[in-house]
Chains A and B, each alone.
Chain A
Amino acid sequence: MGVSSLLVLIFAAIAFSAGGIMVAKILVKGSKNPQKGQAYECGIPTEGSPWNQFNVGYYLFALIFLIFDVELVFLYPWAVVVKQIGFAAFGEIIVFLFILFMGFLYAHKKGALKWN
């Protein structure tokens, strides 16, 4: 079907989700109650804003992930041709992964991979 299948699938997903939500809206007769809008936490009204600080560790992991994800994208075209090129490609990828691994070890040494 080619590229048009993407449009068809997006349409199908939107039709399915929107259809379900619309049907629910038509069928359900809701009632107003101030309690209904409150956050579902523990019963008593919540304190402060939910958008407060969270652990900086998530940020560090996201950064390291970014490096490795870009590396992974570089590996895709390499993986397709490595069998044809042979040992030259193998040697190059060892150098490539070695440099990356050094960076990984550095991050590890600095404690970026430690959760606290």
Chain B
Amino acid sequence: MFSLEGITDAIYSWLNSTFNPTIALLIEFAIVVVCVIGLFAVLGLVLVFMERKVSAYMQIRLGPNRVGFKGSMQTMADTLKLVLKEGLVPDGADKFLFNLAPFVVMIVAMLILAPIPFARNFQMWDINIGVLYVTAVSSLSVIGILMAGWSSNNKYSLLGAMRSGAQIVSYELSAGLAVLSIVVLTGSLQLSDIVNSQQDGWWIFKGHIPAIISFVIFIIAVTAETNRAPFDLAEAESELTAGFHTEYSGMRFALFFLAEYVNIFIVCSIGAILFLGGWMPFHIGNWEAFNHVMDFIPSSVWFFGKVFFLIFLIMWFRWTFPRLRIDQLLNLEWKYLLPISMFNLLLMTLMAIMGWYF
């Protein structure tokens, strides 16, 4: 059957039978580089288009509909326009850091892709501390953001970066605790183990109420971590023009923008892996026929379907809730989410030890 696993295996065996090992390895690396860059570019184009269309339909308007089929080429046109714009560096900016910041943000976004299982046995690096790796690497992006805000020689940029930094580090805690409650259930930090443990049902169903609480906390925390509305006060347009990337223009701005959308994809895929079973198909108890039909859908379709459902959820938030103030935002995290998630972790541990889950 057609599957990503089959394709990679075929390419791998063909390379190793045709070339000597060193050249085969180099060609493999080149293919990975091209695939990852392609994934980034396609994700950027699709997510920006999706965001604009979803926003448009939620506000009862049409959104982009001129370029290409139903406006699907609009993002492509926008990217071309951005490439043709001059990349300015403001006077008095720290030139080295100013140029370095987009690279840092991009490298971090790229590195998190390493342990993510996109489909059955389709993973770059099945690292045994996958969850810890993802948490550790994703918290590095705040360095890039602070770098950008600090070096821009602009008051709004600096304020936006400080807000963004405070917000990201705060919400990382409750996201981490929510992730830990699933680790308690599976007893493994390896992402492939976590997906395999959900063969007979996803954790959000198997884990009872604590899993649902964890899921809700996780979604709130990652919405804040990716600076999305209603937590987008790092780039609140009406207060700080554009936050930490106010002074960026042309291609450097495009890189920040792309990294932002790729980060949304990444956190949603982590959410899908931990709570919604990653690439595991949807099974119901002993409904044999139903389960067989579900098995026929390729695992990559399941994975991307779940991820895009979560992304849609996060876009839905944007048009449902008004923006928070910074004190409200920090209150929400420190006075509500953090104690609740700590208590929830204890509840989950009790449940895991007593075996009160399916």
Contacts and interface: CB of A to CB of B under 8 A. Distances in A.
A30 interface: yes
A3 B335 CA distance: 40
B259 to A, nearest CB: 9
Interface residues of B, number: 79
Interface in B134-178: 150, 152-159, 162, 165-166, 169-170, 172-173, 176-177
A38 to B, nearest CB: 7
A62 B164 CA distance: 12
Nearest to A115: B327
B30 to A, nearest CB: 9
A24 B86 CA distance: 7
A99 interface: no
A80 B189 contact: yes
Chain A at the B interface: mostly helix, strand, loop or mixed?
A: helix
A20 B173 CA distance: 35
A86 B169 CA distance: 32
Interface in A17-33: 17-18, 20-21, 23-25, 27-28, 30
A65 B168 CA distance: 10
Contacts, number: 202
Contact of A13 (B107, B177, B188): B107
Given A41-B154, A83-B353, A93-B349, A15 B32 contact: no
A100 B204 CA distance: 28
Given A9-B114, A54-B162, A24 B87 contact: yes
Interface string B316-329: 00000000001100
Nearest to A47: B155
Interface in B72-118: 83-92, 102-103, 106-107, 109-111, 113-114
A40 B169 contact: no
A80 B33 CA distance: 33
B346 interface: yes
A36 B349 CA distance: 58
Ranked nearest first, the 4 interchain pairs of A and B with the lowest CB-CB distance are: A115-B327, A37-B91, A13-B110, A24-B251
Interface of A: 1-6, 8-18, 20-21, 23-25, 27-28, 30, 36-41, 46, 50-52, 54-55, 58, 61-62, 64-65, 68-69, 72, 75-76, 79-84, 86-87, 89-90, 93-94, 97, 101, 104, 108, 113-116
Interface of B: 28-29, 32-33, 36-37, 40, 83-92, 102-103, 106-107, 109-111, 113-114, 124-125, 129, 131-132, 150, 152-159, 162, 165-166, 169-170, 172-173, 176-177, 180, 183-185, 187-189, 241, 246-247, 250-252, 254-255, 326-327, 330-331, 334-335, 338-339, 342, 345-346, 349-350, 352-353
Given A13-B110, A82-B184, 10 more contacts: A6-B125, A10-B107, A14-B107, A25-B87, A27-B84, A39-B247, A68-B338, A82-B349, A115-B330, A116-B327
